[in-house]
Structure 1
Amino acid sequence: MRGRIVVAGLAGLLVSGCAAEAEPVAVPPPAPIAVDVPAASSGGACRLLDFTVIEQLVKVRFDVAAASERGDTHSCVVRAESATMPELALSVTETTIDKATFGTDVVPDKATKVTGLGQQAYRRTVAAAGGHGPVAEVGWLAADGRLATLSWTTARDVERSAAEKLTGDLVALAKKVDTRAL
């Protein structure tokens, strides 16, 4: 008999425990998920750039891209989310100029000629100004009748010689840019 009373008592406790409302358990929110979004997703001239290729050639990881279009000119600026400098800008404009006109009217004074890039190309470094460091630039007349420019704006504390060295990496990157894909 005692056994039945104990079993009945335990059953009563179990049933009454199940009927009570359970306290909510606090679950911490999930950590944000970082998603790598390709530069091309920004559209415009950003479709011609790839963060991985830039990192391989220039040794800097970018993860933010913004595109702009004005008339026949398509532009893209890429940066690292955590810093405003350096930044890489690509500009592509449809044009009807020829090689001779490019050499006379577009190539800046004191620019160095670049071979193996488009119909004609140059590279140069511009001195620091306006709160940023020197700018490395590569410009070329693409075979498809487009004028393209890649420019790398450095942070204020970067030496001009470092920007000059970077123009070689920008030439390698420019050779990967297919302006026909725009």
Structure 2
Amino acid sequence: MIVRGRIVGVGVAALLAAGCGAEAEPVAVPPPAPVAADVVAASSGGACRLLDFGVIEQHAGVRFDVAAASETGDSHTCVVRAGQAALPELTLTVTETSIDAATFTAEVVPGKAAKVSGLGQRAYRRTASAKGALGPVAEVGWLATEGRLATLRYATPQDTDTADAENLTEALITLAKQLDTRAI
């Protein structure tokens, strides 16, 4: 009986040694799928804190997903784009100012701009013509009640119709009315 136990023990040890002696080949595991994170524009800081990709899409009809902020002196800027595409591009600029409504109208409002009611102390809208690789540009500018000068500028791709850009000014006015420029 002791001999039989030793033989079984030796057999088990031989099997274990044979299985452990050879290294197993690595198993190919596919890499995990990239995780898509829905980042908010506000995470870029600066003037981007005033923007929300979903709200922009609701008004302008384009889903932006990249935002970048910049700050120079009293001016805060946010540029939003859709992925790697250069256009369309929406730019928000907010600058602290001490100008009054009369000065805004006389010195800031561009020629051929239309007056906008119900936005800040004074406001305008305009559509600039296509130029080079850039399509028409829709722009809304306003003197906010809290001493801030703000501009929303929507640059379109070259093949955009001027009437479509003009319609965008209405969307920009609605978007501008939702922005609290004091939050910068």
TM-score normalised per structure 2: 0.89
Question: How far has the Cα of 1:14 moved from its partner?
Answer: 5.8
Give the whole-Å Cα distance in 1 for the aligned partners of 2:49 and 2:82. 17
Structure 2 residue 118 is the aligned partner of structure 1 residue 90: no
Distance 1:177 1:15 in 2: 73
Residues 37-116 of structure 1: pairs in structure 2 closer than 5 A: 37-116=39-118
Deviation at 1:19, TM superposition (A): 4.9
1:147 paired to 2:149: yes
Q: By how many angstroms is 1:82 displaced?
A: 3.4
Q: Which amino acid aligns with 1:44?
A: G
Instruction: Output the CA distance in 2 between the equivalents of 1:108 and 1:25.
Output: 67
- Any unmatched runs of 5+ in structure 1? none
Please point out which of 160, 163, 166 is paired with 2:162: 160
Distance 1:140 1:49 in 2: 16
CA RMSD of aligned residues (A): 2.0
- Please, which runs of 5 or more residues in structure 2 have no aligned partner? none
Alignment match of 1:126 (pick from 125, 128, 150): 128
CA distance in 1, matches of 2:11, 2:120: 87
Task: State the 1:10 CA deviation.
Answer: 7.6
Worse-matched range after superposition: 112-121 or 84-93: 112-121
What is the CA deviation profile of residues 138-178 of structure 1, one whole-angstrom value per residue up to 9, with x for unaligned ones?
Answer: 00000101000000000011111110011000001111111
Classify the secondary structure of the residue corresponding to 1:134: strand
Using the size of structure 1 for normalisation, the TM-score is 0.90
Q: How many residues of Structure 1 are paired with residues of Structure 2 in the alignment?
A: 179
Deviations 1:73-113 (A, max 9, x none): 11110001131110000001111111111111111122111
Q: Using the alignment, how far apart are the partners of 1:169 and 1:82 within structure 2? A: 24
Shift of 1:21: 2.3
CA distance in 1, matches of 2:67, 2:22: 55
- Residue identity (%): 66
Deviation at 1:13, TM superposition (A): 3.7
